[in-house]
Amino acid sequence: MTTNDRPLGDVLDALLRQVPSDFEYRAELEGEFNRLKEDASYTAPELMYIRWNIAAEVLNRYLSTPDTDWKQKIDKIFGATEDYTKG
């Protein structure tokens, strides 16, 4: 499954479900994801790769090192190696 086969908003929601409520930057991450989902709703399908790239930059900014189980799960969901619809 490639990123183009998955709705960006659904994937971002699945990623956010993995972030603990006490994570220091959770509110900022949620805000970035919400803005990205809103922007994606106005983006032509052929340009969605740009939104996926921005999502990758946001993840890199807040979760750069997958040093916890939940960060590793986020890596797998975003990288399409784990089904985002489960868990």
Rounded CA gap, 35 and 38, in Å? 5
| Contact indicator for 73, 61 with CB cutoff of 8 Å | no
Q: Which residues contact 15 (CB under 8 A, 6 or more apart)?
A: 33, 59, 74, 77, 78, 84
Query: What is the pLDDT averaged over residues 8-24?
Result: 96
Q: What pLDDT sits at residue 4?
A: 57
Query: What is the pLDDT averaged over residues 30-58?
Result: 96
On whether the pTM is more than 0.85, the answer is yes
For residue 48, CA distances in Å to 21, 56, 71 come to: 29, 13, 24
Percent of the chain with pLDDT over 90: 80
Confidence of residue 2 (pLDDT cuts 50, 70, 90): very low
Exposed / middle / buried, residue 15 (Cβ in 10 Å: 0-12, 13-18, 19+): buried
> Is pLDDT of 3 > 60?
no
